[in-house]
Structure 1
Amino acid sequence: MTKRLTRLAVVTLAVALPAFEAASAQDVTLRAVSAFPTGSTFQLPFKKFIDEVNAAGDGSVTINYVGGPEAIPSLEVANAVSSGVVDIAVFPTSFYTAELPGAAMIKLATTTMPDQRENGCFELLDTLHQDGMNTKYLGRTGDHVKFHLYLNKKIEEPDLSGLNLRVAATYQALFGELGANMVNTPPGDVYSALERGTVDGYGWPSIGIFDLGWDAHTSYRVDPGFYIVDVNFLANLDTWNNLTDEQKALLNGKMIDIETGEQENAQLVEKELARQEAAGIEAITFDGEAGDLWEKTAQDAAIAEIAEADPQAVESLSGCLIPSE
């Protein structure tokens, strides 16, 4: 009996060991979603990231792209990646300020992502996301791309009184400070709101309005731009912790490659603004005192709003995000 049990134990161990080794070195498939429509301007760097990881991973890491807002509504993406419904997601901080208000500091950055990886800011942002949202901050895109106010009515100064503007969390404080009537409309409904005259304008980056067809009902763009675009790549923290060092290094390396390519965004913006001009969108430029007021109000309104929710984030991140301040 003892010999039989011993032989059984040896056979069981012989079968179990290869299975354990396979599990230890097991290839992983990560589920990914985008808050932006597939093929749109702000989803394309994510697509490139996925393609490059899949090509270089040789099966050790495979990212399965589930889809855009049709898979998970944009405003639910933060909860999906935080809870592990998906493993990786790409979306702006404006879609998760309720979960992590301090992350809104990113939009104020005057330093680029390569700068932030050198000056310690990346580590601070990573810790903020890990502690506050159960996510690993992989990095972001959007360097050199600013937001603008787009209108179908001309204004002469930074006074938005009487204008009905579609707002998002990114610029709500700014537009409100300057007297706008704020309208909360999902991105998918903005076109019809412009068409019906429900809104007189909206905030959006210097690139991307043609993706949505909003140019058809846009006559003016206000310069200078304000804030920066932040399209953040986040991974579920539990998923991240279960990856091997080699798998983590692959994802980190490809993220840095994407960020390096983003340093050419200034050329993309130049082409997009020329396209807007060709489409009949006229620039309203605030300069002198008007320009100073516009930019100062943008900065002050944002910092005041963030400080009310997370003063520690303002204190800890200002030095590396906006070192001139």
Structure 2
Amino acid sequence: MLKRSARRFLAILAVPLILAGCTPAAEDQNANSEEEVVITLASGFARNHSNNEGLWMFVEKLEENAPWITIDFKGGPEVMAPNLLIEGVAAGVFDIGVMPGDYYVDQIPAMELARFTPYTPMEERENGVVEIYDEIHRDQLDVKYLGRAVAGMPQVILSRDEITGLELHGDSYRTSSATSDIVRAMNGVPVDLPGSEVYTALERNVVSGATWASVGPSSLGLEGVVSYDLAPRFYESVANIVMNERSWDDLDERTRQALVDTIAEVEPDIFAHYLSQTIEETQQWHDAGVQETRLSDEDARELLELAYFDSWDNLDWERILETSPAAAQLRDAYRTPEDELDFDRVPSGAFISDTTELLEEAR
């Protein structure tokens, strides 16, 4: 099963703040769609962050497909705090924003569901999940959901000490909102730390490990202060491309179609890119001396059941459905019967169950 999954997804590989709006004015654009359209964009990540690589793939393809569109990148966290970026887009400070749904679960509680996705971005576009996300974003924030800028990398637990079972013995682990419940269920203590402080916290034994997306720890040098990466991995790490609804409505039809078509075209490449980066970065850790520690089959399944069933059931469904009624459709689309879940990979395809074997196949 693993090799089939591996082959399937490896085969895919063959600024200061200013009020901004799409320019020129909508009337002029509609009168002459050959005129330049400038779209301002901000990201929840720094310009050169690995999580922006999918964004630049989209921008480059858009330049090729629609040369009349100019993406004016205004910056990353230095221009607006990542947890406020969704509000900046909703207010029209920026036309487009790129950020994980985890950054705005307070504004849209339904974004808690994104990490549970059983689909690739391409499958979400084919089966109508993209339309559900769009409805949720429009209803709550007057923001249009366009697609994924990051997909294809699971969450991983990195640790100084070997984890031999579902027991962290009260040790502290840096977590995100997506992984706190898992660490807590393993009798660990979740700690909220900015990414910039994680290396020092590990170096000084303030925490025993960290949960992180499978791409990114090397940029912080974490392979120098941890000794193990845990298998299995779990959850999908995704970031979204969203657009101010008024800016979207002001665009001419040709430009709107170019944006949608280009995102749809580049999503498979984005997914393949991050899956490849996951493999390559894992190899970097191992080359630096980090070892993969694998749970027993029984413990591995229990961990994934904690992630995909217990945590799912423990979501604040009353709040989610009250604020986003369309989330009921998302719940139905995402819920996978336990006996049908393939634990060889995260359902979306990002999960690497046995990194050693997959890395061997990738060579």
Sort the TM-score into its range (normalised by shorter chain). 0.7 to 0.9
What's the counterpart of residue 275 of structure 2? 266
Look up the equivalent residue of 1:38 and give its one-letter code.
R
Q: What secondary structure, in the 3-state scheme, does the structure 1 residue paired with 2:236 have?
A: coil
TM-score by length of structure 2 reads 0.78
User: Aligned in 2, Cα 1:165/1:308: closer, same or farther, shift over 3 Å?
Assistant: farther
Look up the equivalent residue of 1:269 and give its one-letter code.
T
Do the aligned partners of 2:158 and 2:209 also contact (CA within 8 Å) in 1? yes
1: CA distance, partners of 2:54 / 2:114: 18
- Quote how far apart the aligned CAs of 1:302 are: 3.9
What's the counterpart of residue 305 of structure 1? 315
Do the aligned partners of 1:201 and 1:218 also contact (CA within 8 Å) in 2? yes
Q: Deviations over 1:102-157 (max 9, x none)?
A: 11211111211111111111111110111122211110144432111111122211
Do the aligned partners of 2:57 and 2:270 also contact (CA within 8 Å) in 1? no
- Quote how far apart the aligned CAs of 1:196 are: 2.3
2: CA distance, partners of 1:21 / 1:92: 34
- Pair 1:72-2:80 in alignment: yes
- Pair 1:241-2:249 in alignment: yes
Do the aligned partners of 1:173 and 1:302 also contact (CA within 8 Å) in 2? no
Look up the equivalent residue of 1:309 and give its one-letter code.
R
Do the aligned partners of 1:105 and 1:313 also contact (CA within 8 Å) in 2? no
What's the counterpart of residue 54 of structure 2? 45
- Residues 95-174 of structure 1 aligned to structure 2 (within 5 Å): 95-174=103-182
Q: Deviations over 1:202-244 (max 9, x none)?
A: 1111222112222221211111111101111111111111111
TM-score by length of structure 1 reads 0.87
2: CA distance, partners of 1:324 / 1:125: 22
Do the aligned partners of 2:132 and 2:327 also contact (CA within 8 Å) in 1? no
- Quote how far apart the aligned CAs of 1:267 are: 3.3
1: CA distance, partners of 2:63 / 2:116: 33
Output the aligned Cα RMSD.
Answer: 2.2
Do the aligned partners of 1:159 and 1:178 also contact (CA within 8 Å) in 2? yes
User: Aligned in 2, Cα 1:138/1:304: closer, same or farther, shift over 3 Å?
Assistant: same
User: Aligned in 2, Cα 1:21/1:277: closer, same or farther, shift over 3 Å?
Assistant: closer
What's the counterpart of residue 9 of structure 1? none
Alignment gaps of 5+ in structure 1:
1-18
Q: What secondary structure, in the 3-state scheme, does the structure 2 residue paired with 1:228 have?
A: strand
* 1:257 maps to which of 259, 265, 270: 265
Look up the equivalent residue of 1:52 and give its one-letter code.
K
Q: Which has the higher mean CA deviation after the structures are superposed, 236-245 or 262-271?
A: 262-271
Q: What secondary structure, in the 3-state scheme, does the structure 2 residue paired with 1:103 have?
A: helix
What's the counterpart of residue 21 of structure 2? none
Q: What secondary structure, in the 3-state scheme, does the structure 2 residue paired with 1:144 have?
A: strand
- Quote how far apart the aligned CAs of 1:20 are: 6.0
- Percent identity over paired residues: 24
What's the counterpart of residue 288 of structure 2? 279
What's the counterpart of residue 222 of structure 1? 230
What's the counterpart of residue 319 of structure 1? 332
User: Aligned in 2, Cα 1:306/1:212: closer, same or farther, shift over 3 Å?
Assistant: farther
What's the counterpart of residue 291 of structure 1? 300
Look up the equivalent residue of 1:305 and give its one-letter code.
L
User: Aligned in 2, Cα 1:102/1:161: closer, same or farther, shift over 3 Å?
Assistant: farther
* 1:177 maps to which of 170, 185, 191: 185
Do the aligned partners of 1:116 and 1:321 also contact (CA within 8 Å) in 2? no
User: Aligned in 2, Cα 1:277/1:322: closer, same or farther, shift over 3 Å?
Assistant: farther
User: Aligned in 2, Cα 1:301/1:215: closer, same or farther, shift over 3 Å?
Assistant: same
What's the counterpart of residue 56 of structure 1? 65
2: CA distance, partners of 1:203 / 1:313: 30
Do the aligned partners of 2:232 and 2:294 also contact (CA within 8 Å) in 1? yes
* 2:208 maps to which of 200, 206, 220: 200
Q: What secondary structure, in the 3-state scheme, does the structure 2 residue paired with 1:140 have?
A: strand
- Pair 1:30-2:43 in alignment: no
- Quote how far apart the aligned CAs of 1:324 are: 4.5
Do the aligned partners of 2:151 and 2:239 also contact (CA within 8 Å) in 1? no
Do the aligned partners of 2:166 and 2:303 also contact (CA within 8 Å) in 1? yes
* 2:102 maps to which of 88, 94, 99: 94
